[in-house]
Each structure stands twice: as structure tokens, then as C-alpha cells.
Amino acid sequence: MADLFDDPTSRPPEPGRPLADRLRPTKLDEVVGQEHLTGEDGVLTRMIRSGTLGSMIFWGPPGTGKTTVARLLAGETKLAFEQISAVFSGVAELKKVFDAARLRRANGRQTLLFVDEIHRFNRAQQDSFLPVMEDGTVVLVGATTENPSFELNAALLSRARVLTFQSHSAESIGKLLMKAEAEEGKALPLDAQAREMLVGMADGDGRAALTLAEEVWRAAKPGEVFDSAGLQRIVQRRAPIYDKGQDGHYNLISALHKSVRGSDPDAALYYLSRMFDAGEDPLYLGRRLVRMAVEDIGLADPQALQVALAAKDAYDYLGSPEGELAFAQACVYLATAPKSNAVYTAFKGATAAAKQYGSLLPPKHILNAPTKLMKDESYGAGYRYDHDEPDAFSGQDYFPEKMGRQTFYDPPERGFEREIRKWLEFWAKLRAERRT
């Protein structure tokens, strides 16, 4: 096998090698799109200048150069490069890798162990890395597309620095395409609009951009130039990066919820569309819209909850894609409705009070007395039936005596709650008058 860090110009061309592999950087400063790590003042550049590497976790989306950078680090620091994937490796494979690294170290050479998809190792397997990291047998570089805070052991994270790889920008994808054109010796047969569309299809993935470029070159006849419609015909649309159990899912639902809360219907529709486009479960989106209605709107617009529930029923009745419009309508209604979290805040306060005060008995005058014993204990004594009182309001106290009256619900001067506030103020006035 050829050395991975040979001068690529010294190797004969290999038929069939993918474009992304042919354009793989041979030096750290050739890496495109991760200048915060590999640029002149980048974190990794500074590490190399110091002459030592510590263990690291590379966190970022696919196609951003995590594997390539790990290989280059090993080359720059003269470490032996060993690569495994958590998908195909188990305890036996790890033991072999660690034994080989110990033998190398005994002979004076350290090992850079690159672990792809390290988050797929279970907790016990992750713990197995700790001794060889601590004694310097290996410099661990783990790569993951998932949030390390959730997927990796705290012990492992405490021994490794997390470096974030960013999705490629349109500018860095453009640089990769220019490199591809230089490699192929010809321009991409796309007009300006189609070229921009291809960059968007790559979705921040450099490898995907180069694969799409290869597809375009394969499809083009001599002298043919594709417009946007032509590009869509010759390449399959790339699915968005979205894992319904991981960060993509939570990031987008957070963005949707906060856009609704922030009364921005345009942003809310955008994130709703992205989640539908990525194949999100419509029932999940329906539940979240209901949650927004009760958490962020509440009684400022009591119809909001009904609209959210009706959207779910409409989707059940119509199915996709027609039913998606019902969710869009509900999304816009919620975003443009007056906002209040007064009920949400009040419920949290009441819950905290319930835990704080324990099992206090309600005041006896509001307890039923179905038995003679309970009547003898004054259950129900002195209760005043509100409908028989002036203004249908008795003003009695309903909190446990040892707790005293509490106020949890404080409606704002917005939407329907403006009217509720007037009633609460009126009742408070009556309560004060009837106690004097």
C-alpha cells in the first residue's frame, strides 16, 4: 500500500479514484473551510508548532474534513497513524490496537489513534480508552457527528479537547469546486444559477459537493451547459442532514418554537418546512404546536389551543401533503397571536408550593361532609355557596390555613388576559371589602 503522506505527484494516476479522494489535502494549510482550526493562527496549527498533540474529539457534520485532518496531524508530527471505526470494532479489535501501540511506544514511536464515529462505542468501551490516553500510549482523535456532551463519557471528555468542525459555507464549497475544475482541467458545465443550486444541494458537505460535480461531468455531452432545471434532472437531490433522534432534530424544533414565541411567522414557517422536508413525524410536530399554544400563548388567546388541535385533526383527515397546510396555518396563527406565559409560570409556582408545603389539609369549610363523624369535625361548616352571594362571589379563602393565601397567576395586559386581569382585580377588591 502506498504511504498516505507521499508526495501525490510522485504517484501514477489511479483509474477510478473518486474526485474527493484525488483532492484530499496533503498539508494542513490546504484544508478548506476549517481555517479556525487549520489556518495560520488555528488551534491545530499552534499545536503542531508546539511539537506535541493532546487527545481530541472532532465534532462536526459529514464532509467537513475530520478524517483528513487527523491523517495530516499524524504526518506533521511523525506519529504512527492507526484508524478504526466504532461501527466495525469491538473489545477484541481495541485490545489489538492498544497492544500494537504499546509495542510501538516501546520502540520509541507514539501512535495517533483515529476513531471514526466514536459515539457508537458504548460506555464501557469508551472507558477502555482512558488508561492508554493517560499513560501516553496513544493520542486519541475521535470523530463524531453527534453532540459529545450527550454521547461521550464525562471521563473521556475530561481527557480530550473538543474541536468543532463547521459545515462548509457557500464560499468554501466554491473553493472546492474551483480545485475540482483545476484537477479535471475543465470548467463545470453549469450556468451561474445552476452552479449556485449545486452548492445548495451539497448542504455544507464538501465531499457531497465534489460527488455532485463528478455526476455533472459524467452526464454532460461535449459543449453542453446545464441550467437549474437540467441540473435537477441529472442529479438526485441530496437529503438534508437530519437525524430525528439527535442534534438536527432538536436544533430545528428549538428554532421553530423560539420563532413562534418571538412572533416571527416567516421564520416559523421556514423551520416547519425544513422539518417536513427532512421527514419529521407529523404527529410530533402537531404535539409541539399544541405545547407552544399552552406554554407561550395560553389565555392571551384561548383559541390558539383549539387551532393547534384542529390542525392535528385536519392532518389526520387529509394526510400528506394537503394536511401539511393545516400545520402551516396553525404555525402562523400561533406566531401572530398575543403571547403570555402567565399560566405556564403560575403552574410552575403552584407545583413548587405543593412540594414545599406538603400534605396540608384544605380549610374545613370547603370539605364535603358525607358522614356524621365528618360533620362533627366541622367539615363543610360555614361554607357559602358562591351563586347565592352578591356578584356570585363569596370571597372565602380556599388555601390551607397554615399556608396562607398565595398568588401564582399574574396575567399581563395583553390579548384576552387583559379582560381576565380586570376580573381578578375586581374579585380582589370584593374580597378585601368583605373581610373588613
CB 28 within 8 A of CB 44: yes
Q: In what order do the strands lie in the sheet with 56-59?
A: 80-85, 111-116, 138-144, 56-59, 161-164
Rounded distance between C-alpha atoms, residue 164 and residue 34, angstroms: 9
Kindly report the CA angle at 54 between 50 and 60, in degrees rounded to 5?
A: 110
Residue-level pLDDT, tens digit, the chain, 436 residues: 334 334 443 444 455 788 888 999 988 888 999 999 998 889 999 999 888 889 999 998 888 999 999 999 999 999 999 999 888 887 888 899 999 999 999 998 999 999 999 998 988 889 999 999 998 899 999 999 888 988 899 999 999 999 999 989 999 999 999 999 999 999 999 999 999 989 988 888 999 999 999 999 999 999 999 998 888 888 866 555 555 555 667 888 999 999 999 999 999 999 999 888 888 888 889 999 999 999 999 999 999 999 999 999 999 888 888 899 999 999 999 999 999 999 999 999 999 998 888 888 898 888 888 888 888 888 888 899 989 989 999 888 889 988 888 999 999 998 999 999 999 999 999 988 877 5
DSSP per-residue letters across 406-430: -------SSTTHHHHHHHHHHHHHH
**DSSP-based three-state secondary structure for 154:** helix
CATH no., domain 361-435? 1.10.3710
CB 74 within 8 A of CB 45: no
- Map out the domains of the chain as residue ranges: 8-164, 170-234, 247-336, 361-435
**Backbone torsion region of residue 263, taken as left when φ is above 0, otherwise alpha when ψ lies between -120 and 50, otherwise beta:** left
Which CATH fold would you assign to the domain 247-336?
A: Zinc Finger, Delta Prime; domain 3 (1.20.272)
Helices (H), 4-56: 19-22, 35-38, 43-50
Which CATH fold would you assign to the domain 8-164?
A: Rossmann fold (3.40.50)
Rounded distance between C-alpha atoms, residue 199 and residue 210, angstroms: 10
Whether domain 170-234 has CATH 1.10.8? yes
Residue 57 has phi, psi (to 5 degrees) of -115, 120
**DSSP-based three-state secondary structure for 71:** helix
- This prediction has a pTM of 0.62
Name residue 5's amino acid. F
